[in-house]
Amino acid sequence: MLSQPCCLNTHLTCAVCIPIFLPLTVLFLICLSRSPEASLFQWPPPLPSADQLWDPLAPVLLLGWFALHAVIYLMPLGKVSEGLVLRDGTRLKYPINGFHGLCISGVFLMLLLGLGAPLGYLFELLLPLAVCAIAVSFLFSIYLYIRSFWAPSHALALGGNTGNPLYDFFIGRELNPRIGDFDLKYFCELRPGLIGWVVINLGMLMKEVELRGSPSLAMILVNSFQLLYVADALWNEEAVLTTMDIVHDGFGFMLVFGDLAWVPFTYGLQAAFLVVHPQTLSSLKAAAIIALNGIGYYIFRQSNSQKNQFRRDPTHPSVTRLETIATATGKRLLVSGWWGLVRHPNYLGDLLMALAWSLPCGFSYLLPYFYVIYFTVLLIHREARDERQCRAKYGLAWDTYCRRVPYRIFPYIY
Ligand code: NDP
Protein backbone atom coordinates (compact mmCIF):
# COMPACT_ATOMS: atom_id res chain seq x y z
CA MET A 1 0.00 0.00 0.00
CA LEU A 2 1.20 3.54 -0.70
CA SER A 3 1.06 5.42 2.55
CA GLN A 4 3.16 8.58 2.23
CA PRO A 5 1.38 11.39 0.35
CA CYS A 6 4.45 12.64 -1.59
CA CYS A 7 5.31 9.09 -2.61
CA LEU A 8 1.72 8.54 -3.70
CA ASN A 9 1.75 11.75 -5.74
CA THR A 10 4.95 10.80 -7.56
CA HIS A 11 3.65 7.33 -8.34
CA LEU A 12 0.32 8.76 -9.45
CA THR A 13 1.98 11.25 -11.78
CA CYS A 14 3.93 8.37 -13.36
CA ALA A 15 0.77 6.26 -13.62
CA VAL A 16 -1.02 9.07 -15.48
CA CYS A 17 1.86 10.28 -17.68
CA ILE A 18 3.51 7.01 -18.69
CA PRO A 19 0.46 5.52 -20.50
CA ILE A 20 0.37 8.66 -22.64
CA PHE A 21 4.07 9.34 -23.03
CA LEU A 22 5.41 5.83 -23.75
CA PRO A 23 3.00 4.90 -26.58
CA LEU A 24 3.82 8.23 -28.25
CA THR A 25 7.53 7.47 -27.78
CA VAL A 26 7.13 4.13 -29.57
CA LEU A 27 5.48 5.80 -32.57
CA PHE A 28 7.97 8.67 -32.52
CA LEU A 29 10.98 6.31 -32.53
CA ILE A 30 9.60 4.29 -35.45
CA CYS A 31 8.99 7.51 -37.42
CA LEU A 32 12.53 8.70 -36.62
CA SER A 33 14.12 5.42 -37.65
CA ARG A 34 12.81 5.87 -41.19
CA SER A 35 13.36 9.61 -41.56
CA PRO A 36 16.57 10.52 -43.45
CA GLU A 37 17.87 12.68 -40.56
CA ALA A 38 17.01 10.05 -37.87
CA SER A 39 17.87 12.68 -35.28
CA LEU A 40 16.43 12.51 -31.79
CA PHE A 41 16.72 16.29 -31.61
CA GLN A 42 15.18 17.14 -34.96
CA TRP A 43 12.51 19.84 -34.79
CA PRO A 44 9.74 19.70 -35.85
CA PRO A 45 9.73 15.89 -35.40
CA PRO A 46 8.72 13.78 -38.42
CA LEU A 47 4.97 13.28 -38.02
CA PRO A 48 3.20 10.45 -39.84
CA SER A 49 0.11 11.06 -41.95
CA ALA A 50 -3.13 9.31 -40.91
CA ASP A 51 -2.85 6.73 -43.70
CA GLN A 52 0.66 5.78 -42.51
CA LEU A 53 -0.81 4.95 -39.09
CA TRP A 54 -3.56 2.62 -40.24
CA ASP A 55 -3.71 -0.47 -42.41
CA PRO A 56 -6.60 -2.96 -42.07
CA LEU A 57 -4.08 -5.80 -42.44
CA ALA A 58 -2.37 -4.82 -39.17
CA PRO A 59 -5.12 -5.89 -36.71
CA VAL A 60 -5.67 -9.11 -38.68
CA LEU A 61 -1.97 -10.01 -38.52
CA LEU A 62 -1.66 -9.01 -34.86
CA LEU A 63 -4.70 -10.96 -33.68
CA GLY A 64 -3.69 -13.93 -35.86
CA TRP A 65 -0.23 -13.84 -34.26
CA PHE A 66 -1.69 -13.84 -30.73
CA ALA A 67 -4.05 -16.70 -31.69
CA LEU A 68 -1.16 -18.77 -33.12
CA HIS A 69 0.81 -18.40 -29.89
CA ALA A 70 -2.22 -19.09 -27.72
CA VAL A 71 -2.71 -22.37 -29.62
CA ILE A 72 0.99 -23.29 -29.21
CA TYR A 73 0.74 -22.45 -25.49
CA LEU A 74 -2.14 -24.90 -25.14
CA MET A 75 -0.48 -27.70 -27.10
CA PRO A 76 0.86 -30.57 -24.98
CA LEU A 77 4.50 -29.75 -25.79
CA GLY A 78 7.41 -29.59 -23.32
CA LYS A 79 7.23 -30.08 -19.59
CA VAL A 80 4.95 -28.45 -17.04
CA SER A 81 6.60 -26.59 -14.13
CA GLU A 82 5.30 -25.24 -10.86
CA GLY A 83 5.69 -21.60 -9.88
CA LEU A 84 6.69 -20.40 -6.41
CA VAL A 85 4.31 -20.95 -3.48
CA LEU A 86 1.51 -18.36 -3.45
CA ARG A 87 0.06 -16.59 -0.40
CA ASP A 88 -2.71 -19.19 -0.10
CA GLY A 89 -0.07 -21.97 -0.04
CA THR A 90 -0.84 -23.27 -3.56
CA ARG A 91 1.47 -23.39 -6.59
CA LEU A 92 0.37 -22.71 -10.17
CA LYS A 93 1.40 -24.91 -13.09
CA TYR A 94 2.98 -23.43 -16.23
CA PRO A 95 3.72 -25.06 -19.62
CA ILE A 96 7.40 -24.64 -20.57
CA ASN A 97 6.93 -24.58 -24.33
CA GLY A 98 7.99 -21.06 -25.36
CA PHE A 99 11.00 -22.41 -27.25
CA HIS A 100 8.66 -24.70 -29.17
CA GLY A 101 6.70 -21.54 -29.99
CA LEU A 102 9.84 -19.94 -31.45
CA CYS A 103 10.67 -23.04 -33.53
CA ILE A 104 7.11 -23.43 -34.83
CA SER A 105 7.04 -19.71 -35.70
CA GLY A 106 10.36 -20.17 -37.54
CA VAL A 107 9.04 -23.09 -39.61
CA PHE A 108 5.83 -21.16 -40.32
CA LEU A 109 7.80 -18.12 -41.53
CA MET A 110 10.08 -20.24 -43.72
CA LEU A 111 6.97 -21.76 -45.31
CA LEU A 112 5.55 -18.30 -45.93
CA LEU A 113 8.84 -17.17 -47.47
CA GLY A 114 8.92 -20.31 -49.62
CA LEU A 115 5.43 -19.48 -50.85
CA GLY A 116 6.66 -16.01 -51.79
CA ALA A 117 4.96 -14.03 -49.02
CA PRO A 118 6.28 -10.44 -49.08
CA LEU A 119 7.70 -10.36 -45.54
CA GLY A 120 9.44 -7.08 -46.34
CA TYR A 121 5.99 -5.44 -46.24
CA LEU A 122 6.38 -5.52 -42.45
CA PHE A 123 8.49 -2.40 -42.91
CA GLU A 124 5.46 -0.48 -44.26
CA LEU A 125 3.24 -2.13 -41.64
CA LEU A 126 5.44 -1.24 -38.68
CA LEU A 127 3.54 1.91 -37.67
CA PRO A 128 0.02 0.41 -38.11
CA LEU A 129 1.13 -2.70 -36.20
CA ALA A 130 2.51 -0.56 -33.36
CA VAL A 131 -0.74 1.46 -33.27
CA CYS A 132 -2.74 -1.79 -33.00
CA ALA A 133 -0.40 -3.24 -30.34
CA ILE A 134 -0.85 -0.05 -28.29
CA ALA A 135 -4.65 -0.20 -28.71
CA VAL A 136 -4.65 -3.89 -27.72
CA SER A 137 -2.53 -3.03 -24.64
CA PHE A 138 -5.09 -0.45 -23.49
CA LEU A 139 -8.13 -2.67 -24.13
CA PHE A 140 -6.50 -5.70 -22.54
CA SER A 141 -5.43 -3.69 -19.45
CA ILE A 142 -9.00 -2.38 -19.04
CA TYR A 143 -10.27 -5.98 -19.20
CA LEU A 144 -7.67 -7.05 -16.60
CA TYR A 145 -8.59 -4.16 -14.33
CA ILE A 146 -12.33 -4.90 -14.47
CA ARG A 147 -12.00 -8.66 -14.01
CA SER A 148 -9.69 -8.16 -10.99
CA PHE A 149 -12.74 -7.07 -8.93
CA TRP A 150 -14.01 -10.65 -9.08
CA ALA A 151 -10.65 -12.11 -7.92
CA PRO A 152 -10.33 -13.35 -4.32
CA SER A 153 -8.21 -11.10 -2.10
CA HIS A 154 -5.31 -13.58 -1.85
CA ALA A 155 -5.01 -13.45 -5.67
CA LEU A 156 -4.35 -9.68 -5.70
CA ALA A 157 -0.85 -8.16 -5.97
CA LEU A 158 0.25 -6.40 -2.78
CA GLY A 159 1.44 -3.29 -4.64
CA GLY A 160 -1.49 -2.80 -7.02
CA ASN A 161 -4.40 -2.23 -4.68
CA THR A 162 -4.12 1.33 -3.45
CA GLY A 163 -7.76 2.12 -4.23
CA ASN A 164 -6.68 4.74 -6.78
CA PRO A 165 -8.12 3.49 -10.09
CA LEU A 166 -5.46 5.12 -12.29
CA TYR A 167 -2.55 3.80 -10.28
CA ASP A 168 -4.03 0.33 -9.89
CA PHE A 169 -4.86 0.17 -13.62
CA PHE A 170 -1.24 1.04 -14.37
CA ILE A 171 0.47 -1.31 -11.88
CA GLY A 172 -2.08 -4.13 -12.10
CA ARG A 173 -4.39 -5.47 -9.38
CA GLU A 174 -4.44 -9.19 -10.02
CA LEU A 175 -1.22 -11.18 -9.62
CA ASN A 176 -1.81 -14.18 -11.90
CA PRO A 177 -4.98 -13.59 -13.96
CA ARG A 178 -6.01 -16.80 -15.69
CA ILE A 179 -8.77 -18.03 -17.99
CA GLY A 180 -9.03 -21.65 -16.89
CA ASP A 181 -5.42 -22.89 -16.95
CA PHE A 182 -4.33 -20.19 -19.40
CA ASP A 183 -2.08 -17.77 -17.52
CA LEU A 184 -2.39 -14.36 -19.21
CA LYS A 185 0.69 -12.74 -17.64
CA TYR A 186 3.02 -15.68 -18.23
CA PHE A 187 1.76 -15.95 -21.83
CA CYS A 188 2.48 -12.29 -22.58
CA GLU A 189 5.81 -12.19 -20.75
CA LEU A 190 7.97 -14.03 -23.33
CA ARG A 191 5.87 -15.12 -26.30
CA PRO A 192 3.93 -12.86 -28.71
CA GLY A 193 6.06 -9.75 -28.05
CA LEU A 194 9.49 -11.32 -27.77
CA ILE A 195 9.06 -13.65 -30.75
CA GLY A 196 7.29 -10.81 -32.58
CA TRP A 197 10.44 -8.71 -32.14
CA VAL A 198 12.61 -11.17 -34.11
CA VAL A 199 9.89 -11.60 -36.76
CA ILE A 200 9.86 -7.83 -37.27
CA ASN A 201 13.67 -7.97 -37.58
CA LEU A 202 13.34 -10.65 -40.26
CA GLY A 203 10.82 -8.43 -42.07
CA MET A 204 13.39 -5.58 -42.06
CA LEU A 205 16.02 -7.95 -43.46
CA MET A 206 13.65 -8.99 -46.24
CA LYS A 207 12.93 -5.34 -47.00
CA GLU A 208 16.67 -4.80 -47.41
CA VAL A 209 16.77 -7.77 -49.81
CA GLU A 210 13.91 -6.20 -51.81
CA LEU A 211 15.69 -2.83 -51.96
CA ARG A 212 19.31 -3.89 -52.44
CA GLY A 213 19.28 -7.51 -53.59
CA SER A 214 20.87 -9.01 -50.47
CA PRO A 215 21.00 -8.38 -46.72
CA SER A 216 23.91 -6.30 -45.42
CA LEU A 217 26.43 -7.68 -42.94
CA ALA A 218 25.19 -5.11 -40.38
CA MET A 219 21.59 -6.35 -40.78
CA ILE A 220 22.67 -10.00 -40.49
CA LEU A 221 24.56 -9.23 -37.27
CA VAL A 222 21.65 -7.34 -35.70
CA ASN A 223 19.22 -10.14 -36.64
CA SER A 224 21.53 -12.91 -35.40
CA PHE A 225 22.44 -11.24 -32.07
CA GLN A 226 18.84 -10.47 -31.18
CA LEU A 227 17.64 -13.92 -32.26
CA LEU A 228 20.27 -15.45 -29.97
CA TYR A 229 19.01 -13.29 -27.08
CA VAL A 230 15.36 -14.22 -27.66
CA ALA A 231 16.16 -17.92 -28.17
CA ASP A 232 18.17 -17.92 -24.94
CA ALA A 233 15.29 -16.33 -22.99
CA LEU A 234 12.85 -18.93 -24.34
CA TRP A 235 15.27 -21.84 -23.85
CA ASN A 236 15.53 -20.76 -20.19
CA GLU A 237 11.82 -19.92 -19.94
CA GLU A 238 11.46 -21.66 -16.58
CA ALA A 239 13.67 -18.98 -15.00
CA VAL A 240 10.91 -16.40 -15.60
CA LEU A 241 8.79 -18.14 -12.94
CA THR A 242 11.01 -16.70 -10.18
CA THR A 243 11.27 -13.13 -11.56
CA MET A 244 9.73 -10.07 -9.90
CA ASP A 245 7.33 -9.72 -12.84
CA ILE A 246 5.74 -13.11 -12.17
CA VAL A 247 6.17 -13.34 -8.39
CA HIS A 248 5.40 -9.81 -7.14
CA ASP A 249 3.97 -7.52 -9.82
CA GLY A 250 0.30 -7.31 -10.69
CA PHE A 251 -0.67 -7.61 -14.35
CA GLY A 252 -1.63 -4.12 -15.45
CA PHE A 253 -0.89 -1.62 -18.20
CA MET A 254 2.81 -1.36 -17.31
CA LEU A 255 3.57 -5.03 -18.01
CA VAL A 256 1.01 -5.48 -20.79
CA PHE A 257 2.31 -2.50 -22.77
CA GLY A 258 5.94 -3.44 -22.04
CA ASP A 259 5.45 -7.01 -23.26
CA LEU A 260 3.22 -6.35 -26.27
CA ALA A 261 4.28 -2.95 -27.59
CA TRP A 262 7.49 -1.60 -26.05
CA VAL A 263 9.71 -4.67 -26.49
CA PRO A 264 8.78 -5.68 -30.06
CA PHE A 265 8.70 -2.14 -31.46
CA THR A 266 11.65 -0.44 -29.74
CA TYR A 267 14.16 -3.22 -28.99
CA GLY A 268 14.70 -3.89 -32.69
CA LEU A 269 14.96 -0.27 -33.87
CA GLN A 270 18.44 -0.95 -35.29
CA ALA A 271 17.02 -3.25 -38.00
CA ALA A 272 14.37 -0.68 -39.02
CA PHE A 273 17.07 2.02 -39.03
CA LEU A 274 19.36 -0.04 -41.29
CA VAL A 275 16.67 -0.34 -43.99
CA VAL A 276 16.79 3.43 -44.59
CA HIS A 277 20.39 4.08 -43.45
CA PRO A 278 22.53 1.28 -44.91
CA GLN A 279 25.96 0.82 -43.32
CA THR A 280 29.05 -0.87 -44.66
CA LEU A 281 30.98 -2.92 -42.15
CA SER A 282 34.51 -4.25 -42.64
CA SER A 283 35.22 -7.87 -41.69
CA LEU A 284 37.56 -6.67 -38.95
CA LYS A 285 34.89 -4.44 -37.37
CA ALA A 286 32.32 -7.22 -37.72
CA ALA A 287 34.70 -9.67 -36.00
CA ALA A 288 35.25 -7.20 -33.12
CA ILE A 289 31.48 -6.68 -32.72
CA ILE A 290 30.83 -10.45 -32.80
CA ALA A 291 33.52 -10.89 -30.13
CA LEU A 292 31.89 -8.20 -27.96
CA ASN A 293 28.48 -9.84 -28.27
CA GLY A 294 30.05 -13.24 -27.53
CA ILE A 295 31.79 -11.96 -24.39
CA GLY A 296 28.59 -10.23 -23.23
CA TYR A 297 26.53 -13.34 -23.85
CA TYR A 298 29.06 -15.54 -22.05
CA ILE A 299 29.05 -13.32 -18.93
CA PHE A 300 25.25 -12.97 -19.03
CA ARG A 301 24.53 -16.70 -19.41
CA GLN A 302 27.24 -17.99 -17.06
CA SER A 303 26.37 -15.59 -14.23
CA ASN A 304 22.62 -16.16 -14.50
CA SER A 305 23.11 -19.94 -14.63
CA GLN A 306 25.53 -19.89 -11.70
CA LYS A 307 23.08 -18.04 -9.46
CA ASN A 308 20.07 -20.08 -10.61
CA GLN A 309 21.97 -23.31 -9.96
CA PHE A 310 23.09 -22.07 -6.53
CA ARG A 311 19.55 -21.05 -5.57
CA ARG A 312 18.02 -24.31 -6.86
CA ASP A 313 20.64 -26.67 -5.39
CA PRO A 314 23.54 -25.21 -3.35
CA THR A 315 25.08 -28.70 -3.09
CA HIS A 316 25.48 -29.07 -6.87
CA PRO A 317 29.18 -29.80 -7.73
CA SER A 318 29.38 -26.74 -10.05
CA VAL A 319 28.74 -24.35 -7.14
CA THR A 320 30.07 -26.13 -4.01
CA ARG A 321 33.63 -24.81 -4.56
CA LEU A 322 32.37 -21.19 -4.54
CA GLU A 323 32.84 -19.03 -1.47
CA THR A 324 29.61 -17.92 0.22
CA ILE A 325 28.50 -15.95 3.27
CA ALA A 326 25.63 -16.85 5.59
CA THR A 327 22.62 -14.56 6.13
CA ALA A 328 20.08 -14.45 8.94
CA THR A 329 17.37 -15.77 6.57
CA GLY A 330 19.18 -19.11 6.20
CA LYS A 331 19.94 -18.38 2.52
CA ARG A 332 23.61 -17.83 1.59
CA LEU A 333 25.12 -15.23 -0.77
CA LEU A 334 27.81 -16.01 -3.33
CA VAL A 335 30.95 -13.88 -2.88
CA SER A 336 33.20 -15.54 -5.45
CA GLY A 337 32.77 -16.69 -9.04
CA TRP A 338 30.78 -14.30 -11.24
CA TRP A 339 28.98 -12.82 -8.23
CA GLY A 340 32.37 -11.96 -6.71
CA LEU A 341 33.35 -9.87 -9.74
CA VAL A 342 30.54 -7.31 -9.40
CA ARG A 343 27.19 -7.45 -7.60
CA HIS A 344 25.27 -7.70 -10.90
CA PRO A 345 27.46 -9.53 -13.43
CA ASN A 346 24.35 -10.54 -15.41
CA TYR A 347 23.55 -6.84 -16.04
CA LEU A 348 27.14 -6.27 -17.20
CA GLY A 349 26.82 -9.05 -19.80
CA ASP A 350 23.42 -7.78 -20.90
CA LEU A 351 24.76 -4.26 -21.42
CA LEU A 352 27.78 -5.45 -23.44
CA MET A 353 25.36 -7.29 -25.73
CA ALA A 354 23.14 -4.20 -26.00
CA LEU A 355 26.17 -2.19 -27.16
CA ALA A 356 27.08 -4.88 -29.71
CA TRP A 357 23.56 -4.62 -31.20
CA SER A 358 24.04 -0.89 -31.87
CA LEU A 359 27.63 -0.84 -33.16
CA PRO A 360 26.77 -2.36 -36.59
CA CYS A 361 24.83 0.88 -37.23
CA GLY A 362 28.03 2.99 -37.11
CA PHE A 363 28.69 6.17 -35.20
CA SER A 364 26.93 8.80 -37.33
CA TYR A 365 23.53 8.53 -35.61
CA LEU A 366 22.42 8.39 -31.98
CA LEU A 367 19.08 6.67 -32.66
CA PRO A 368 20.42 3.09 -32.98
CA TYR A 369 21.97 3.59 -29.52
CA PHE A 370 18.56 4.30 -28.01
CA TYR A 371 18.26 0.75 -26.68
CA VAL A 372 21.65 0.64 -24.97
CA ILE A 373 21.10 4.10 -23.39
CA TYR A 374 17.56 3.25 -22.22
CA PHE A 375 18.71 -0.16 -20.99
CA THR A 376 21.63 1.31 -19.01
CA VAL A 377 19.21 3.65 -17.20
CA LEU A 378 16.73 0.78 -16.66
CA LEU A 379 19.34 -1.60 -15.24
CA ILE A 380 20.94 1.04 -12.99
CA HIS A 381 17.48 1.80 -11.59
CA ARG A 382 16.66 -1.93 -11.30
CA GLU A 383 19.98 -2.59 -9.57
CA ALA A 384 19.25 0.13 -7.01
CA ARG A 385 15.78 -1.31 -6.36
CA ASP A 386 17.17 -4.83 -5.96
CA GLU A 387 19.94 -3.53 -3.70
CA ARG A 388 17.33 -1.92 -1.40
CA GLN A 389 15.33 -5.14 -1.27
CA CYS A 390 18.43 -7.25 -0.56
CA ARG A 391 19.60 -4.86 2.19
CA ALA A 392 16.15 -5.08 3.81
CA LYS A 393 16.18 -8.89 3.44
CA TYR A 394 19.77 -9.70 4.42
CA GLY A 395 20.78 -6.71 6.63
CA LEU A 396 24.37 -6.96 7.88
CA ALA A 397 25.22 -9.88 5.59
CA TRP A 398 24.38 -7.67 2.60
CA ASP A 399 26.71 -4.93 3.93
CA THR A 400 29.48 -7.53 4.26
CA TYR A 401 28.83 -8.63 0.65
CA CYS A 402 29.01 -4.99 -0.51
CA ARG A 403 32.36 -4.54 1.25
CA ARG A 404 33.71 -7.75 -0.31
CA VAL A 405 32.35 -6.87 -3.76
CA PRO A 406 32.36 -3.06 -3.93
CA TYR A 407 31.31 -2.56 -7.58
CA ARG A 408 27.69 -2.88 -8.67
CA ILE A 409 27.76 -3.48 -12.43
CA PHE A 410 31.03 -2.30 -14.05
CA PRO A 411 34.27 -3.44 -12.37
CA TYR A 412 36.32 -0.46 -11.08
CA ILE A 413 33.78 2.02 -12.54
CA TYR A 414 30.35 1.62 -10.95
P1 NDP B 1 18.73 -10.99 -10.93
O2 NDP B 1 18.82 -12.27 -11.68
O3 NDP B 1 19.91 -10.10 -10.98
O4 NDP B 1 18.41 -11.37 -9.44
C5 NDP B 1 18.61 -10.53 -8.32
C6 NDP B 1 18.45 -11.42 -7.11
O7 NDP B 1 19.54 -12.35 -7.07
C8 NDP B 1 18.52 -10.72 -5.76
O9 NDP B 1 17.28 -10.16 -5.42
C10 NDP B 1 18.87 -11.89 -4.85
O11 NDP B 1 17.66 -12.63 -4.64
C12 NDP B 1 19.82 -12.72 -5.71
N13 NDP B 1 21.22 -12.39 -5.45
C14 NDP B 1 21.82 -11.17 -5.55
N15 NDP B 1 23.13 -11.26 -5.24
C16 NDP B 1 23.35 -12.56 -4.96
C17 NDP B 1 24.51 -13.29 -4.56
N18 NDP B 1 25.69 -12.70 -4.40
N19 NDP B 1 24.40 -14.61 -4.34
C20 NDP B 1 23.21 -15.23 -4.50
N21 NDP B 1 22.07 -14.61 -4.85
C22 NDP B 1 22.15 -13.29 -5.08
O23 NDP B 1 17.38 -10.25 -11.33
P24 NDP B 1 16.74 -9.61 -12.60
O25 NDP B 1 15.39 -10.21 -12.74
O26 NDP B 1 16.85 -8.12 -12.45
O27 NDP B 1 17.64 -10.04 -13.87
C28 NDP B 1 17.58 -11.32 -14.51
C29 NDP B 1 18.16 -11.18 -15.94
O30 NDP B 1 17.22 -10.55 -16.78
C31 NDP B 1 19.43 -10.34 -16.00
O32 NDP B 1 20.35 -10.95 -16.84
C33 NDP B 1 18.97 -9.03 -16.58
O34 NDP B 1 20.03 -8.43 -17.31
C35 NDP B 1 17.83 -9.47 -17.48
N36 NDP B 1 16.82 -8.42 -17.69
C37 NDP B 1 16.54 -8.07 -18.99
C38 NDP B 1 15.60 -7.09 -19.26
C39 NDP B 1 15.31 -6.70 -20.67
O40 NDP B 1 14.40 -5.89 -20.90
N41 NDP B 1 16.05 -7.18 -21.65
C42 NDP B 1 14.86 -6.41 -18.17
C43 NDP B 1 15.26 -6.85 -16.85
C44 NDP B 1 16.19 -7.82 -16.63
P45 NDP B 1 17.55 -13.85 -3.58
O46 NDP B 1 18.70 -13.73 -2.64
O47 NDP B 1 16.21 -13.68 -2.95
O48 NDP B 1 17.64 -15.12 -4.41
Mean pLDDT of the chain: 92
Question: Would you say the CB of residue 304 lies under 6 angstroms from ligand 1?
Answer: yes
Which of 84, 259, 310, 344 has most ligand 1 atoms within 8 Å of CB, for mutation?
A: 344
What pLDDT sits at residue 89?
Answer: 85
Of 23-27, 33-37, 57-61, 216-220, the poorest mean pLDDT is in: 33-37
Q: What is the predicted pLDDT for the residue at 389?
A: 87
* pLDDT above 60 for 9: yes
Of 105-109, 222-226, 236-240, 297-301, minimum mean pLDDT range: 236-240
Ligand 1 pocket residue status of 380, Cβ below 6 Å: no
Residue 319 Cα to ligand 1 middle (Å): 17
Strands 182-183 and 324-326, bridge-based pairing: unpaired
Whether pLDDT at 3 is above 50: no
Whether residue 285 is predicted with pLDDT greater than 60 in this model: the reply is: yes
- Give yes or no for residue 6 having a pLDDT over 70: no
CA dihedral of residues 399, 404, 410, 411 (deg, nearest 10): 160
pLDDT in the model for residue 264: 97
Å from CA of 343 to ligand 1 middle: 10
Q: Burial letters for 345-374: b for 16+ Cβ neighbours within 10 Å, e otherwise?
A: bbbbbbbbbbbbbbbbbbeebebbbbbbeb
- The answer to whether the predicted template modeling score (pTM) of the entire model surpasses 0.85 is yes
Cα of 348 vs centre of ligand 1, distance in Å, is 11
Residue 1, pLDDT > 60, answer no
Q: How far is Cα 266 from Cα 396, in angstroms, rounded to an integer?
A: 40
Under the banding of pLDDT at 50, 70 and 90, the label for residue 8 is low
Average pLDDT over residues 173-180: 95
Chain-centroid distance of CA 133 in Å reads 15
